[in-house]
Structure 1
């Protein structure tokens, strides 16, 4: 058993923030990197911080609070939660929810009440409403969207249904499941053909561009679906926005709940990357360049910021979201995705956009914690 430095039972009245990261999804490492940045930014004079890691097998452990251990190194090695550290659990008690640490060689130790959880989790079993539901049941306040908004936004297929119902523009797509593919692959191929190539094939409930590939014609569809099915039994097959610009906008609630928007940012993929894949997003090189703020035609930024708020409210987001757009060659806008827990790594766009808007990284983290502390659990 790896020895784990334990926080002492809370001696002050500072709010206790549990930063939860890692998780069982394919975005485990990116969650760790995001958490390292959050841990480095939280004001320790204002908050009592407890780092909690979720190992890839689902074990919750009391992790190291050292942000350096959670960084990407120059060689691209990815950090992971150390599952051998002391197990930790949330325990509902009369006065609230306590944090309890236990090891075979020690009696269980209660560290005191958790005031708010900052779930820096990306992908399924974290960003999809699962941990949000657990925290609601435990009566613990948390940063970010609730159960429904998290679940809807995580599933790209259902997200499109909700956005389209709210009158927001989305790219045409179909959903192919492993079951429908096994039952009638020719019918799936015909449905994809009807959309027109090229097509992007994505895990419906994934992120960080993991498992995404581009089918340039019908001959590549089967292989692209096989890649997506490695990560999710539901795949989204979507028309490629050929010639479009990829522009993102951040949404952040003010302390009174009003959604505010950041200046947009444009991502441009260079070199050998045909699209904004995992390596282009997270491994520093010259694959991408960024314009913050994005240089947009007259009126497009205003429209994008208004559509960002509409998308935020359509899925019922809270706290924060990043709304991704395609700016089509004719200048029209299409909503690509709503991300309820966007990346918080040093290269992530959400913090960069807000910094350019006038809210630096520590202030952004503080705003999110303050919003969570002011919000209760349950129906609202």
Structure 2
């Protein structure tokens, strides 16, 4: 019997539009002989809707004020200990077997929706609550990596309550340096700071997306990425790929808006020793961060061969120019099989967790 899978996309995030594009690709690649998809879009206002077919992806965004006529208001609930999609229109109930969250950034990649899945006992693709939250918060990520002695860029934490000056940061980190919101993905609010004149307005922009901003040293090097998949105790890294930005750096526009914003070299032109070292560091990062299911690990490779972790992405993009599936394809795993493998991992993780006791008296 086919499993019912909820593909969940959109949400209250600066990456809402990218999420829809990723979700369309996942829906296209899904093995329809094994899975029956249910398309659930979360509006920019946070409302949940079920859509009957792929025409939802003709929209750039889902907004309450401009809903497609076929949108049906729904809620995800637990009924007698089982996850159910409840229709607010006709009160019908649809049982779900597994969820695939394809929600980039806040309210999707940060542990929030993963917590909901746990509450209603719904198996789901990807990292759990705390690893999602830790991976999303770049300051927490850096602390965990530093404790594990995994190299990453030096940084300073900026908040609205501290009066950090350009001069203070440049004296510690050098110039130019980057500023980035701690809890935003895909280069949203990220700026390269070259002068004091740049600093004020661009810091103000970064604070639009989070109340914590990192100032991070600029590392001159190649931008290499690696896909990781598996359970936390046994991750497997793909062949790495290289991003060669055609913009000044790998910005949001270069990633998602401009199809020619970056050249992608997959697999990356690296010697075997560097490839093995990079894959081992990607797997170590996946383990240290408590990840499960999937993660993309991003690196800087300096001319002297030193590797530094830039960041991890616990729900990487699945758009037509996204690196995560492309690196697995180069490793020998088709897009369709990749999606099926990720869903299988979700069921395996859920079954293992179900064996844990939840009552002291039993």
Q: Normalization by structure 1: what TM-score?
A: 0.88
Residue 331 of structure 1: how far off its partner (Å): 1.1
Query: In the alignment, what sits opposite 2:209?
Result: 231
Q: What are the superposed Cα offsets for residues 343-380 of structure 1, whole Å, 9 maximum, x if unpaired? A: 01111000000000000111101111111122225797
Residue 207 of structure 1: how far off its partner (Å): 1.1
CA, structure 1 residues 325+378, in 2 after alignment: closer, same or farther (shift >3 Å)? farther
Q: Quick one: distance in 2 between partners of 1:147 and 1:379?
A: 18
Query: In the alignment, what sits opposite 2:102?
Result: 120
Q: Quick one: distance in 2 between partners of 1:173 and 1:122?
A: 24
Q: Quick one: distance in 2 between partners of 1:356 and 1:293?
A: 6
Contact 1:192/1:237 (8 A) holds in 2: no
CA, structure 1 residues 226+293, in 2 after alignment: closer, same or farther (shift >3 Å)? same
- Structure 2 counterpart of 1:315, from 281, 289, 308: 289
Residue 318 of structure 1: how far off its partner (Å): 0.1
Unaligned stretches of 5+ residues in structure 1: 1-12, 72-77
- Structure 2 counterpart of 1:241, from 219, 225, 233: 219
Deviates more, 1:294-303 or 1:308-317: 294-303
CA, structure 1 residues 135+69, in 2 after alignment: closer, same or farther (shift >3 Å)? closer
Q: Quick one: distance in 2 between partners of 1:174 and 1:64?
A: 47
Residue 192 of structure 1: how far off its partner (Å): 4.7
- Please tell me whether residue 366 in structure 1 is matched to residue 349 in structure 2: no
Q: Quick one: distance in 1 between partners of 2:52 and 2:277?
A: 44
Query: In the alignment, what sits opposite 2:261?
Result: 287
Residue 217 of structure 1: how far off its partner (Å): 2.6
Aligned Cα root-mean-square deviation (Å): 1.9
2:72 alignment partner, SS class: coil
Q: Quick one: distance in 2 between partners of 1:257 and 1:155?
A: 23
CA, structure 1 residues 192+205, in 2 after alignment: closer, same or farther (shift >3 Å)? farther
Q: Quick one: distance in 1 between partners of 2:73 and 2:24?
A: 20
Q: Quick one: distance in 2 between partners of 1:169 and 1:216?
A: 24
Contact 1:213/1:227 (8 A) holds in 2: no
Q: What are the superposed Cα offsets for residues 43-68 of structure 1, whole Å, 9 maximum, x if unpaired? A: 122111101011011001102431x6
Equivalent residues in 2 for 1:141-290, closer than 5 Å: 141-180=123-162, 184-186=163-165, 190-242=168-220, 244-253=221-230, 258-270=234-246, 273-290=247-264
Residue 82 of structure 1: how far off its partner (Å): 4.8
Q: Quick one: distance in 2 between partners of 1:288 and 1:378?
A: 43
- Structure 1 counterpart of 2:84, from 89, 93, 98: 98
Query: In the alignment, what sits opposite 2:11?
Result: 23
CA, structure 1 residues 158+176, in 2 after alignment: closer, same or farther (shift >3 Å)? same
- Please tell me whether residue 109 in structure 1 is matched to residue 83 in structure 2: no
Unaligned stretches of 5+ residues in structure 2: 357-362
CA, structure 1 residues 267+163, in 2 after alignment: closer, same or farther (shift >3 Å)? same
Q: Quick one: distance in 1 between partners of 2:155 and 2:254?
A: 25
Q: Quick one: distance in 1 between partners of 2:265 and 2:35?
A: 34
Contact 2:4/2:96 (8 A) holds in 1: yes
Contact 1:63/1:81 (8 A) holds in 2: no
Residue 95 of structure 1: how far off its partner (Å): 4.9
Q: Normalization by structure 2: what TM-score?
A: 0.92
2:28 alignment partner, SS class: helix
- Structure 2 counterpart of 1:34, from 22, 45, 52: 22
2:31 alignment partner, SS class: coil
- Residues matched between the structures, number: 349
Q: Quick one: distance in 2 between partners of 1:257 and 1:364?
A: 19
CA, structure 1 residues 87+268, in 2 after alignment: closer, same or farther (shift >3 Å)? same
CA, structure 1 residues 127+247, in 2 after alignment: closer, same or farther (shift >3 Å)? same
CA, structure 1 residues 193+222, in 2 after alignment: closer, same or farther (shift >3 Å)? farther
Runs of 4+ aligned structure 1 residues displaced above 4 Å come to: 377-380
Contact 1:248/1:324 (8 A) holds in 2: yes
Q: Quick one: distance in 1 between partners of 2:301 and 2:348?
A: 36
- Structure 1 counterpart of 2:60, from 79, 99, 102: 79
